[in-house]
Amino acid sequence: MTALRPEREDLYGGERPYESSGGARPYEPSGGAQPYGGRRPDPATAPLPPVDEETMALRIPEPGGGESVRPSAASSASAAAGVTPGGRAARRRAAKRRGGRRRAGAREPATASSSPSASSASSASSPSSPSSSFSSPAERGPQRPLTRVEARRQARLRRPSPATRASRAIGEVFITTGVLMLLFVTYQLWWTNVRAHAQAGSEASQLQDDWASGKRNPGVFEPGQGFAILHIPELDVAAPIAEGVSNKNVLDKGMVGHYGEAPLKTAMPDARTGNFGLAAHRNTHGEPFRYINRLKAGDAIVVETQDTYFVYKVTSTLPVTPPSNTSVLDPVPPGSGFTGPGRYITLTTCTPEFTSKYRLIVWGKMVQERPRSKGKPDALIE
């Protein structure tokens, strides 16, 4: 049986030929012949021994269809493959050095192997562009972490400028102001009406219950105390009438106020002569007088008290007058068309709508006084 022979290992890692533990020398041709002119051949460049077809050892295939590998070709192949000659320790040291060079090379741009023209163009444009010193994650490579300086620079770039922060603050102020205004308008136009209607309805029900039980007798009433109910059938209005024209105690609760306090004191409905003056909101807080501008001559206005229905008919309207014109509440108001004392009614409210700059006046004259024991008047039945 043919013994196993060592193969050349310089092509696999640059190690020297296998040496036995007994210190056997490398293979030499038989007969003591010295090839290459009597010089001892270099183990790295020495030709391979003749191939024994019966051996089971591994062999390097001969390139070129069985031709022998020339020493120069083998050396160039090992150099091209990056194989480091020497033992295992030498290969480890070479591998560590190659790894360090790879990590250092990864920090350089990936386009280092591009054309000279592209490299010169990028180097020429890099000083003029501030953002060229910062590369995207794809250009830096997935394995390269950011340095502290680069991380700080990118954080400063992501940080909004003072102008951006100011614009955001102003925008937030505008949005907040708009939301607050919307809530205020909703409160004024919707919620005040809901609350005032509930309060006025409760007051009217309580007033009728007191009339039925005899708790409220006709006479002088306290400010804010309800004593009658106003009906305007044409506008489908039914609201309690309270003493006084205070916003907090009367008008804002959805009730109609009676001018019963000096210096704007007016007569009560049961007076033999005089002007029964009333006031109410046109917008918000129940808005019972919102559409009195639609009243026309002949429309009925009914005042219901504990014992009597007082029926008035609209006679005239004053569309606009200043709030200081208190003469509209006189016993015989000027401009109303009345020529002498009588039993009149005056409705006052603000105009135009949603403002309190002027006043709208509606006058009427009593045409019927009907006891409650006889039932409702025709104006409330039709």
For position 16, what pLDDT does the model report? 46
What is the mean predicted confidence (pLDDT) over 201-224? Answer: 82
Say whether pLDDT at 267 is over 60. Answer: yes
For position 167, what pLDDT does the model report? 92
What is the mean predicted confidence (pLDDT) over 359-367? Answer: 96
User: Any alpha helices (H) in the chain, and if so which ranges?
Assistant: 10-13, 63-66, 71-80, 88-106, 116-125, 137-140, 148-158, 162-186, 192-213, 378-381
For position 31, what pLDDT does the model report? 47
Question: 19-58, pLDDT tens digit by residue?
Answer: 444 444 544 544 444 444 445 555 555 555 555 554 445 5
Distance separating alpha carbons of residues 195 and 190, to the nearest angstrom: 9
Distance separating alpha carbons of residues 255 and 224, to the nearest angstrom: 9
pLDDT-derived band at 369, boundaries 50, 70, 90: very high
Look at 298 and 214; give whichever has higher pLDDT: 298
Say whether pLDDT at 336 is over 90. Answer: yes
258 is catalytic: no
Least confident of 199-203, 237-241, 292-296: 199-203
Beta bridge partners of 365: 313, 344
For position 344, what pLDDT does the model report? 97
For position 141, what pLDDT does the model report? 52
Residue given tokens 């907090």 in the structure block = 248
For position 68, what pLDDT does the model report? 47
For position 139, what pLDDT does the model report? 54
For position 332, what pLDDT does the model report? 95
What is the mean predicted confidence (pLDDT) over 313-341? Answer: 95
SS3 category, 216: coil
Distance separating alpha carbons of residues 305 and 241, to the nearest angstrom: 10
Domain ranges of the chain: 1-15+53-104, 195-381
Question: 64-99, pLDDT tens digit by residue?
Answer: 544 444 544 444 545 445 555 567 788 778 877 776
Say whether pLDDT at 6 is over 50. Answer: no
Q: How many residues does the chain have?
A: 382
Look at 220 and 55; give whichever has higher pLDDT: 220
For position 164, what pLDDT does the model report? 87
For position 111, what pLDDT does the model report? 44
Query: From the centroid of its chain, how far is CA 171?
Result: 11
Say whether pLDDT at 137 is over 70. Answer: no
Tell me what percent of the chain is helix, strand and coil, each rounded to the nearest 5.
Answer: 35, 15, 45
For position 87, what pLDDT does the model report? 75
Residues 84 and 94: beta-carbon distance below 8 Å? yes
197 is catalytic: no
Top-level CATH class of 195-381? mainly beta
Residue given tokens 């003493």 in the structure block = 243
Look at 69 and 145; give whichever has higher pLDDT: 145
Look at 31 and 240; give whichever has higher pLDDT: 240
For position 315, what pLDDT does the model report? 96
Question: 292-321, pLDDT tens digit by residue?
Answer: 999 999 999 999 999 999 999 999 999 999
pLDDT-derived band at 219, boundaries 50, 70, 90: low
For residue 332 the two structure tokens come to 């015989």
E strands present in 244-304: 256-258, 274-279, 300-304
For position 242, what pLDDT does the model report? 94
Question: 146-189, pLDDT tens digit by residue?
Answer: 888 888 888 888 888 888 889 999 999 999 999 999 998 888 88
Least confident of 107-121, 154-168, 172-186, 254-268: 107-121
For position 208, what pLDDT does the model report? 87
For position 146, what pLDDT does the model report? 82
